[in-house]
């Protein structure tokens, strides 16, 4: 794997700026479970990895009468361990629980699972069935 720079911005504006200035050579990282493997094997290249886990808007997990607000970088385990989500949005909880094993679920996110657009994106059917807004 070739060397790359790493940034962990704390605002959405800073993350967007880093990605925009990279001319396509930066990759956003939410969980990184697929990204790091793709960079390591040469399927993707990156001069810069932009870690999104320190951006509050992307780590929000909020359940109220209006619905569920789920940040793109929230790890899967936080979703399936949330009693309210299990009760009201069991499809999201169940799909989060089958994304990889426990080690993967500690890092992987539904946002990353969706953005990766893999053929086996476990969370996509649940999001479609629940008419999720992305």
Mean pLDDT by 10 residues, the chain (134 residues): 91 97 92 85 92 96 95 94 97 90 84 75 85 87
- What is residue 34's predicted lDDT score, i.e. its pLDDT? 83
Class at the top of the CATH hierarchy for domain 5-51: alpha beta
- What is residue 111's predicted lDDT score, i.e. its pLDDT? 86
* Residue recorded with tokens 């969980």: 31
Cα angle, residue 114 at apex, residues 112 and 117 outer, rounded to 5°: 105
Look at the chain and count its residues. Answer: 134
- What is residue 118's predicted lDDT score, i.e. its pLDDT? 67
Report the relative pairing of strands 67-70 and 61-64 from DSSP bridges. antiparallel
Every domain of the chain and the residues it spans: 5-51, 59-129
Residue 24 to residues 27, 49, 124, Cα–Cα distance (Å): 8, 11, 26
- What is residue 99's predicted lDDT score, i.e. its pLDDT? 83
């Amino acid at each position: 794997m070739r060397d790359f720079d790493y940034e962990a911005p704390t605002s959405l504006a800073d993350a967007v700026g880093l990605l925009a200035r990279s001319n396509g050579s930066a990759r956003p990282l939410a969980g990184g479970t697929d990204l790091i493997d793709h960079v390591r094997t040469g399927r993707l290249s990156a001069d810069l990895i932009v870690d999104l886990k320190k951006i509050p808007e992307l780590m929000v997990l909020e359940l109220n009468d209006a619905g569920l607000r789920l940040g793109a970088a929230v790890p899967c385990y936080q979703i399936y361990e949330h009693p309210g989500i299990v009760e009201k949005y069991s499809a999201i909880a169940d799909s989060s629980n089958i994304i990889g094993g426990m080690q993967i679920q500690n890092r992987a996110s539904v946002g990353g699972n969706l953005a990766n657009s893999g053929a086996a994106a476990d969370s996509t059917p649940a999001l479609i069935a629940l008419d999720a807004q992305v």
